[in-house]
A = this chain, B = another copy of it.
Amino acid sequence: MKLPASTEWVLHCATTLAQLEPGTTASAAQLAQYFDLPQAYLAKQLQPPVRAGILTATTGPRGGYRLARPAADITLLDIVEAVDGTTSPYTCNEIRQQGHGALPPEDCRHTCVIAQKMDDAHRAWRRSLADVTLAGILATLPPHAPDRTRRLLAETR
């Protein structure tokens, strides 16, 4: 059960973009240099969060990425699910209904109790991530962090 490595990239890029001055953007080239990541591959990984309405991508000489909505309205769950999808890690293939021990259909009107408990755990995981916003993450950073982030980003291109 693994999230893709790009989960860390997108979480950190979104946290970085949350520190920009309003109305400004950072390009894939800048973010790639900021974190020493491969630019083309990073740009590809930033597409799903754009499609999910978390980031906005603008084109042109001053174009780049910015948050599509306030940092208080973007949760870690939004970002992680934009990267990896919303599916539960547990797949129920209904083996209770196959083989010599197969349960009859009338005993299978409700979700299998094992699948229910696995879904409960997935819900607990989702709830935990839904409780954390980018604004909440920013609030834990040292007071000088956004200035430093903007300064170092400005030095990249």
Residues of A at under 8 Å CB distance from B? Answer: 1-3, 5, 7-9, 11-12, 15-16, 33-37, 76, 80, 84, 87, 89-93, 95-96, 98-102, 107, 113-114, 117-118, 120-129, 132, 137, 140-142, 149, 152-153, 155-156
| Majority secondary structure of chain A interface residues (helix, strand, loop or mixed) | helix
State the copy count for this chain: 2
Partner of A140 from the list B1, B7, B12, B113 (CB cut-off 8 Å) is B113
Q: Are A34 and B90 also in contact (CB < 8 A) when A1-B3, A113-B140, A114-B137 are? A: no
A122→B7 CA distance, assembly (Å):
15
Contact B2 A91, beta carbon cutoff 8 Å: yes
